Structure 1
Amino acid sequence: MTRSILILAAHPDDEVLGCGGTIAKYVDEGMIVNVAFLADGVLSRKGEFTDQQRELTSRRDAAQKACLILGVESVSFGDFPDNCLDTIPLLEITQAVEALIMKHQPDLVFTHHAGDVNIDHRRVHEATVTACRPQQGHSVKTILCFEVPSSTEWQFYGSAPSFTPNWFVDISGTLERKLAALDAYKEELRGWPHPRSLRGVEHLAHWRGATVGVDAAEAFMLGRKLA
């Protein structure tokens, strides 16, 4: 039985976009969910350093608010450079992930899909796969990869692995909390018809739900499961 869940995300807002409804549902079912961000999320953007620092603080405050809405147990922030994880040795990122797994001892890990357009997403995926090697006594039994609107679906077919979900979670009862948590990141949202808009995220949830016969769902790709 799953008791502890760790969300390994590159940037604040990825956790809500990818599995916010699932987080809320699992929290309601009594599971402990911890969220960890590996990259700072903003410091690659143009602007004065003081403005970047102000934006960093604002985004971390938004993450705390979003995760509070979802019922997350704890939130941690890494300081790897935004959109530059390809400049960091994979070993360093993997060691950061290993430390988080050692700390939280999760049964279930959610992370990014391998084929996302965003390089940070891909590197976090690689580090997670490496850190979760199936060794005797390792706490992680299941690894699920989520989609992030405006990254996963923007990859060209044939350029990287396609997101072909084979695991769905019914979030009909928690979709409104997902959208409320996403609204905490309003500075990161775009207007419709951008996929990273409230309306776009809601449409995706209903479409994923329709494909499996429920009102709303989040879709994942199973990496590995040890029963």
Structure 2
Amino acid sequence: MSRVLVVAAHPDDEVLGCGGTLARHVEAGDSVAVMFLTDGVGARGNSPEAEPARRAREASARAALSILGVCEIVFGNLPDNQIDSVPLLRVAQAVEAVARERQPDLVYTHHIGDLNVDHRLAHQAVLTAFRPQPGQARPTILAFETASSTEWQSVAAGLAFQPNWFEPIEGQLERKLDSLKAYGQEMRPWPHARSLTAVEHLARWRGATIGCAAAEAFMLVRRIG
């Protein structure tokens, strides 16, 4: 049994990036936990609707992950879409606290080249928290792509997502899509990149590139044999 940890900036990133793969881990009997660094809605202001929106997003996350079979969830309290206003050390320490408890064998997180600043800092915090030191957890680290962030970055950044690790999800694609329906308030109509149709097309394309019906793609960040 593997111990799997996902470090995601916002609720919905985890399903967009690796929802099918998480369902596969659960089916294989692996222990899966998801950590969210922010509530995903705080950047929308402090109106009277802010707290109900936060609670609704948390409920959506629990419902979405329940569909995938994931029960262990950690909700962080970093500022949404403003993680860059927080010292990286504080972000890394939040990840380290979960890492000490989980001692994961495998970590999934964002691609370093995403347009969204929270995604980029989540990636950096994971690398900081899991520095390969003696006596510390040294998990395999994989970066996922997040629709409406990864592909929107400028090519001038020189950090294109170039997958070199694929997980077939033919048997889990429908559950991934059903899970995203729990985040209905965050999904958009086709042809938006963060629509159910676009997510399915991407999974079909990633699958076709490796000769299967559907897949999720990752970049291997680190693996210590």
Please classify the TM superposition score into its range, dividing by the shorter chain length. Answer: over 0.9
Which amino acid letter does the alignment assign opposite residue 178 of structure 2? Answer: A
Q: Residues 1-227 of structure 1: matches in 2 within 5 Å?
A: 3-46=2-45, 48=47, 50-227=48-225
User: Would you say the 8 A contact 1:32–1:73 is kept in 2?
Assistant: no
TM-score where L is the length of structure 1 = 0.97
Q: Secondary structure at the match of 2:132?
A: coil
For residues 70-107 of structure 1, the C-alpha deviation after alignment (integer angstroms, 9 at most, x for no partner) is: 11130110010111011100000000010010011110
Which amino acid letter does the alignment assign opposite residue 139 of structure 2? Answer: K
Which amino acid letter does the alignment assign opposite residue 38 of structure 1? Answer: L
Superposition deviation, residue 226 in structure 1: 1.4
List gaps (5 residues or longer) in structure 1.
none
Superposition deviation, residue 47 in structure 1: 5.9
Which amino acid letter does the alignment assign opposite residue 190 of structure 1? Answer: R
Structure 1 runs of 4+ off > 6 angstroms?
none
Matched residues, percent identical? 54
User: Would you say the 8 A contact 1:42–1:52 is kept in 2?
Assistant: yes
Superposition deviation, residue 55 in structure 1: 0.5
Superposition deviation, residue 159 in structure 1: 1.5
123 and 160 in structure 1: CA distance in 2 versus 1, 3 angstrom threshold: farther
Shifted more, 64-73 versus 179-188: the winner is: 64-73
87 and 168 in structure 1: CA distance in 2 versus 1, 3 angstrom threshold: same
For residues 169 and 28 of structure 1, the distance between their equivalents in structure 2, rounded to whole angstroms, comes to 14
Between the two proteins, the alignment pairs up a number of residues equal to: 225
For residues 138-179 of structure 1, the C-alpha deviation after alignment (integer angstroms, 9 at most, x for no partner) is: 223200000000000000112141100000000001000100
Superposition deviation, residue 3 in structure 1: 1.1
List gaps (5 residues or longer) in structure 2.
none
Shifted more, 209-218 versus 135-144: the winner is: 135-144
For residues 160 and 183 of structure 1, the distance between their equivalents in structure 2, rounded to whole angstroms, comes to 33
Q: Secondary structure at the match of 2:17?
A: helix
Q: Secondary structure at the match of 1:133?
A: coil
Shifted more, 158-167 versus 170-179: the winner is: 158-167
